[in-house]
Amino acid sequence: MGLFRKSNDESKFPVLKQVGFLQQLSGHERALFSHSLDRRDFRDGEWVFHQGFPQAVLFIVATGEVEIVLESAATQPAVLDTLGPASFFGETGLFIETQRTAGVRAKGNATLLAISQEDFNHFVQLNPRAGIKLLYGLGRRLSEMLARTNDRLLELGRETADGQPTG
C-alpha cells in the first residue's frame, strides 16, 4: 500500500464542489478529476511537508485544518495562516519545480487530497475541455495572489519612503 490511496468517486469528497478552481467543472468532469486525486489522512501536528521540500504537488483540504508554518532555525516556527475544507495550496508546483516556501502541518486530524504535476498534466491531456477550465481557474488564483503581493510591496515602499515602520 502506497502513501496515498486513490479516490474513485466524487461523492466520497463532496468538498470538491466548493473548491474554487474546480467550480467551473461539470459534475462529470469533477468525478473524472477525482480519479486523479490521492488521499492521505494526517494526525494532529503531523507535517504534510517542511519548508524547502520540493514543490510538485497541489493539495486540497477535504476535512479538518492545516497550518501554513514559516520555519526558521533562529526563531520558533510562525503560523502564517490556517486553511480549512475546500482550501488548496501548492498550485505553483503544478507549473514550475521549486522549493516550498513554508511548511504545512495538520491542526487536528485532517484529510488531504493531492495531485502531482505529472497526474495533473495527464488529466489535462486526456480531458482538454476540463483542463482548460482548470488552467483558467488556477491562472486566476495565481494572478490574484500576485496582485495582492504587488499591492503589499507598494504599501511597504510607501511606508519606507514616508519614514514609517515597515512591520
Which whole number is the average pLDDT over 37-60? 94
Cα→Cα distances 62→119, 133, 160, Å = 19, 21, 41
Cβ neighbours of residue 109 closer than 8 Å, sequence gap 6 or more: 41, 42, 43, 44, 63, 64
pLDDT at 29 over 60: yes
Q: What is the pLDDT of residue 16?
A: 95
Q: What is the pLDDT of residue 157?
A: 84
Which whole number is the average pLDDT over 94-106? 92
- Residues paired with residue 113 on neighbouring β-strands, in sequence order: 39, 60
Q: What is the pLDDT of residue 1?
A: 39
**Per-residue confidence at 152, pLDDT binned at 50, 70, 90?**
confident
Q: What is the DSSP letter of 158?
A: H
Q: Which CATH superfamily is domain 5-135 in?
A: Jelly Rolls (2.60.120.10)
**Per-residue confidence at 59, pLDDT binned at 50, 70, 90?**
very high
Residue 62 dihedral angles phi and psi, to the nearest 5°:
-85, -45
What are the residue boundaries of the structural domains of the chain, listed by start? 5-135
pLDDT at 100 over 60: yes
**Per-residue confidence at 162, pLDDT binned at 50, 70, 90?**
confident
pLDDT at 27 over 50: yes
Evaluate the CA torsion angle 135, 141, 147, 149 in order and state its sign. negative
Higher pLDDT, 152 or 21: 21
Q: CA dihedral in degrees (62, 63, 65, 70; nearest 10)?
A: -30
**Per-residue confidence at 76, pLDDT binned at 50, 70, 90?**
confident
% of the chain with per-residue pLDDT over 90: 64
Closest by Cα among 121, 70, 109, 62 to 88: 62
Q: What is the pLDDT of residue 124?
A: 96
121-136 pLDDT, tens digit each:
999 999 999 999 999 9
pLDDT at 155 over 90: no
Helix (H, G, I), strand (E, B) or coil at 98: strand
Q: Which amino acid is at 100?
A: R
- 41: cell is 489522512
Torsion-angle region of 28 (φ positive above 0: left; ψ -120 to 50: alpha; else: beta): alpha
